[in-house]
Amino acid sequence: MTEASTRYMENADLIAIDWGTSHLRAFLCQLASDNSLTLLATSYARGVTKVTQGFEQELFDCIAPWLDHYKQLPIIMAGQIGSSIGWQETTYLPCPISPQKVADSCLHFACQTQQLAIIPGLHCSHENNHRDVMRGEELQVLGWLAQNHNHLHGQHLICLPGTHTKWVLVESGQVKLFKTAMTGELYDLLCHHSVLIQDSQGEFCPEAFASGAQYTLASALGSFIHGLFSARSKQLFNELAPEHATAYLSGMLIGSDVRAAINATEWSFQELDSVSIIGSNTLSQRFAEVLTMQSITTTRYDVETITLAGFSSVYQQLHHADKL
């Protein structure tokens, strides 16, 4: 470590841990004067389902260089590390819920002289008595709420695309409810365990993607399962190149996801200025394209920026309450 980098790192305030099923991402952060978090360094390790030597060792091996330098820093964790398959299980808090209530309900414990906190998940109930849960995405919703004062007023819809896409309704600064779609997981299963896709490494074709999306956006109710087979039949009759079938399938699934969100009874797109999208660049762009096909305005947010804003929001509340 150079002298310059040592001086730069001397102002670190927090270690933030985004610990999902597949990956652990650790962020060494400094709290700026405007209460945002400046990222000083990043480290990676194995996700919850891939840890072999225990969660404590996995975490402290990952952040050892930082602790060697600072000796002690508060650690806030989010994601599947707080689930039943994680280190310490946190509860699912009921919606509607405010960011302050989420922070106040963190699970606190000490390990190797360090103070740790795990952010809890959320759950909600729908009109049909169906329950829904999230664990990890709530951090990004908290970050989105903290980013702009206008987000604390009125009604907003957030789309968090991923393995399990979340559509989150925010009202008057509270998470009111949300709906989950298994869009990404279905895509992976169909690409690797069905007859639909012969070339799962095929290139992305924008035209094929748009065609798949338009198919499900325009379909009658109940036709999705039948329509899926068109990804196979179109290849057989040379209407779809095998290397473009994954793009077509992606369009069908995202189109179906968007169509369901448009038809949801829990919110009305006519009453929304735009849909906020928080996710990877690729997925966010594809969801934005399909929403635009339906003349719906979207605003995209960088997922890392929003994640750090979420950690900052929780850290500030815990710090002010002398819980960290």
CATH code where residue 236 lies: 3.30.420.310
Portion of the chain with pLDDT greater than 90, in percent = 87
pLDDT of residue 200: 83
Asked if residue 199 and residue 77 are part of one domain, the reply reads no
320: confidence class by pLDDT, cuts 50, 70, 90:
confident
Q: How many domains does the chain have?
A: 2
Asked if residue 114 and residue 20 are part of one domain, the reply reads yes
Q: Is the pTM of this model over 0.95?
A: no
pLDDT of residue 64: 96
Average pLDDT, the chain: 93
Asked if residue 146 and residue 107 are part of one domain, the reply reads yes
Q: In this predicted model, what pLDDT tens digit does every residue of 182-238 receive, in sequence order?
A: 999 999 999 999 999 988 887 899 999 999 999 999 987 668 889 999 999 999 999
Asked if residue 124 and residue 18 are part of one domain, the reply reads yes
Asked if residue 141 and residue 195 are part of one domain, the reply reads no
Rounded Cα gap, residues 183 and 161, in angstroms? 8
Long-range contact set of residues 81-87: C-beta below 8 Å, sequence gap at least 24: 81/17, 81/19, 81/24, 81/48, 81/55, 81/118, 82/107, 82/118, 82/119, 82/120, 82/121, 82/135, 83/48, 83/121, 83/135, 85/48, 85/49, 86/19, 86/48, 86/55, 86/118, 87/55, 87/56, 87/118
Asked if residue 19 and residue 135 are part of one domain, the reply reads yes
Has residue 69 been placed in a domain? yes
6: confidence class by pLDDT, cuts 50, 70, 90:
very low
29: confidence class by pLDDT, cuts 50, 70, 90:
very high
Rounded Cα gap, residues 90 and 39, in angstroms? 27
pLDDT of residue 4: 43
Asked if residue 294 and residue 256 are part of one domain, the reply reads yes
Query: What are the residues whose beta carbons fall under 8 Å from the beta carbon of 69, sequence distance 6 or more?
Result: 1, 6, 9
Has residue 131 been placed in a domain? yes
| Domain residue limits at 214 | 181-302
